[in-house]
Amino acid sequence: MPVSVTMPRLGESVTEGTVTRWLKQEGDTVEVDEPLLEVSTDKVDTEIPSPAAGVLTRIVVGEDETAEVGSELAVISGEGESAGSGGGEAGGQEQEAPAEQAAEAAQEPQAEAEQSAVEEPAEQAAPAQSGEGTPVQMPALGESVTEGTVTRWLKQVGETVEVDEPLLEVSTDKVDTEIPSPVAGTVLEIKVPEDETAEVGATLAVVGAAGGAPAEAKPEPKPEAKPEPQAKPEPKVSEPTPGMSYNEPAAEAETAQEPVKAEQAAQPAAATPQREAASANGGGQAAGYVTPLVRKLASEHNVDLASLNGTGVGGRIRKQDVLDAAEKARSAKAAPAAASQPAAAATRPAEKPQPSAKRGTTEKLPRIRSAIAKRMLSSLHEMAQLTTVVEVDVTKVAKLRAQAKESFQQRHGVKLSFLPFFALAAIEALQAYPIVNASMDLEGGTITYPDSENLGIAVDTERGLLVPVIHNAGDLNLGGIAKRVADLAERTRTNKISPDEIAGATFTLTNTGSRGALFDTPIVPSPQSAMLGTGVVVKRPVVVNDPDLGEVIAVRQMVYLALSYDHRLIDGADAARFLTAVKQRLEAGNFEAELGL
């Protein structure tokens, strides 16, 4: 039955989207959740996955055309279905189909039973005991995740497993993860083989009490050559050495028994022709199903799937394969650049910028750039905007940051920059002076003071300036702010941010100093009333008051803070009080408790 692909709702205030690119064309086959097209709105660019597997029989909305939420974009039909009304021959076939399908349906159970009896006589000797075991079910790996694909079984039938020991690897369209065993015992039965998909809650395997597996369940010699349970698949091996198992450390591989070495050495050799054939036919796609997550990672990191030798079953390309390839590419690119820097510095004082390939060209205005242009112009016309600038001595903050940055990164997993200090000081000042966080409705004659500080963080991306929002930022400490800033910035640059995460800001912070600017005069986005710009932190001589020496010249770390605001609502004195509060908080440098010092 044909399935309609509709324009999804990409945010509360989004009513339409523009099709920017079709990733599949009419007649192409498509898998479930495989990216089908790219859509752009005034908030975000995103991919629309296919809701069903089949053939793309009809494209309703072409590229650069706009469609409302809920409208039909395309039609996907089953591989045996017709795209439209067929002729007489097709009609005759369709009339005969019900009888043929009924006959096939009646034969399927018997055929499956005969096939299973021929192919798995030994492995199927244990179903009577499998009912006594504990089922291992597909967990819910996210609110919108309904199924997952088994990418690799780390344990086989007849092998022992400990509680919480990794049992298998599962991939969804959002994450690759390991599923641990809920109990200790023996794997009695595997119900979902590798590269097959199961719904959330489905039984993947059965684990019984130790020794409960049938003796003839696994005739291969592999169980007796399996190392101790502690040999988990933890070490990351981007290019495994022939003769070494993916699940064994190097030390144990060297001391393994000779039959095991011979068996393992034969596996890479046998897989080589398959991988060469896969590369000739499109790389990872030919080597088996490539999950949407792996495909998207490859696109984001510019990794050619055809050039990879997957470490999964049958050469299947996994998430770690893509990440390893991207890291190698970055290292190879950075090494010559780093080696050439000293020589370049010795021959000339500065590198001449290379001309852009876009010189002398004309391109279509992207939807997101058009939206930014209209909003900026509208904000300037709606408000009486004014900018006030102060300079702040952040020497104490710089010393605390240098002292705590290593322990901070170990504790929170992100680097400690100046931005979280600026954000925390601004949030505390907003709580003291809520007029800067307020919005005005001139026609309605009202001023609204929000009950939370929703901090927008301006992020520079290839598609333009986007502003993800830290909602309820006033509830976070310095570490929480740093983690949220890093997370939102990374997901915004990789186009993984949701539309609702870039809406609802009450105040915005833009780090113009990240590109070396001393300060600028930011344009306040409506309906906000103020926006703070932070310049680059520089060392320069300033006059300071020393308790013993009086006024002296010293080298200090200085930064300019520029507050743009709507002068219709915020007076110059209000702006000055806000900036003074931020300045005093930063210059006092009382962040030891926040940093655990």
**Per-residue pLDDT tens over the stretch 156-176:** 988 988 887 888 888 776 566
Catalytic residue, from 33, 176, 567, 574: name it: 567
Report how far residue 137's alpha carbon sits from residue 154's, in angstroms, rounded to the nearest whole number. 16
Lowest pLDDT segment from 34-43, 368-377, 490-499, 576-585: 34-43
Has residue 193 got a pLDDT over 70?
yes
Report how far residue 395's alpha carbon sits from residue 401's, in angstroms, rounded to the nearest whole number. 10
Pair 486, 405: CB distance under 8 Å: no
Lowest pLDDT segment from 11-15, 132-136, 395-399, 516-520: 11-15
**Residue 437: pLDDT band with limits 50, 70, 90:** very high
Alpha helix (H) residue ranges in 413-557: 419-432, 478-493
Domains (range + CATH), the chain:
3-77 (2.40.50.100), 133-214 (2.40.50.100), 247-342 (4.10.320.10), 367-595 (3.30.559.10)
pLDDT at 309: 79
Lowest pLDDT segment from 370-379, 481-490, 582-591: 370-379
Mean confidence (pLDDT) of the chain: 76
Q: Average of pLDDT values for 128-155?
A: 74
Q: Which residues of 512-529 are buried (b: 16+ CB within 10 A; e: fewer)?
A: bbeeeeebbebbbbbbbb
Has residue 220 got a pLDDT over 70?
no
Has residue 541 got a pLDDT over 90?
yes
* End-to-end alpha carbon distance in the chain: 64
381 classed as catalytic: no
Has residue 268 got a pLDDT over 60?
no
pLDDT above 70: percentage of residues in the chain: 71
Q: Average of pLDDT values for 481-506?
A: 89
Q: Which residues of 393-429 are buried (b: 16+ CB within 10 A; e: fewer)?
A: bbbbbbebbeebeeebeeebebebbbbbbbbbbbbeb
Rg (CA), the chain: 31
pLDDT above 90: percentage of residues in the chain: 29
**Residue 81: pLDDT band with limits 50, 70, 90:** low
Lowest pLDDT segment from 9-13, 54-58, 220-224, 550-554: 220-224
Pair 450, 459: CB distance under 8 Å: no
Q: Which of 244-253, 289-298, 570-579 has the highest mean pLDDT?
A: 570-579
Q: Average of pLDDT values for 432-453?
A: 94
Has residue 127 got a pLDDT over 90?
no
Q: Average of pLDDT values for 81-110?
A: 45
Burial (0-12, 13-18, 19+ Cβ within 10 Å), 470: buried
Lowest pLDDT segment from 71-80, 484-493, 556-565: 71-80
Tell me which long-range contacts 79-88 makes (C-beta under 8 A, separation of at least 24): 79/29, 79/54, 79/55, 81/1, 81/2, 81/54, 81/55, 81/57, 83/55, 83/57, 83/58, 84/57
Has residue 110 got a pLDDT over 70?
no
**Residue 540: pLDDT band with limits 50, 70, 90:** very high
Has residue 248 got a pLDDT over 50?
no
Q: 527 preceded by cis ω (within 30°)?
A: yes
Lowest pLDDT segment from 334-343, 363-372, 400-409, 415-424: 334-343
Q: Read off the tokens for 280.
A: 């000739």
Q: Average of pLDDT values for 446-458?
A: 95
Closest C-alpha among 558, 585, 537, 595 to residue 433? 585
567 classed as catalytic: yes
> What is 22-34 written as a DSSP string?
ESS-TT-EE-TT-
Catalytic residue, from 28, 304, 441, 571: name it: 571
Handedness of CA 435, 440, 442, 443 (dihedral sign): negative
**Residue 350: pLDDT band with limits 50, 70, 90:** low
pLDDT at 263: 45
pLDDT at 398: 94
Angle at the Cα of 104 (from 100 to 108), degrees rounded to 5? 175
Per the model's pLDDT, the better-predicted residue between 297 and 342 turns out to be 297
pLDDT at 529: 95
Has residue 440 got a pLDDT over 70?
yes
Has residue 272 got a pLDDT over 80?
no
What are the E-state strand segments in 477-587? 507-510, 530-534, 538-546, 550-566
Pair 129, 189: CB distance under 8 Å: no
Residues 6+ apart with CB under 8 A from 95: none
Half-sphere exposure of 270 (CA within 13 A, CB side): 9
| SS3 label, residue 566 | strand
Has residue 433 got a pLDDT over 60?
yes
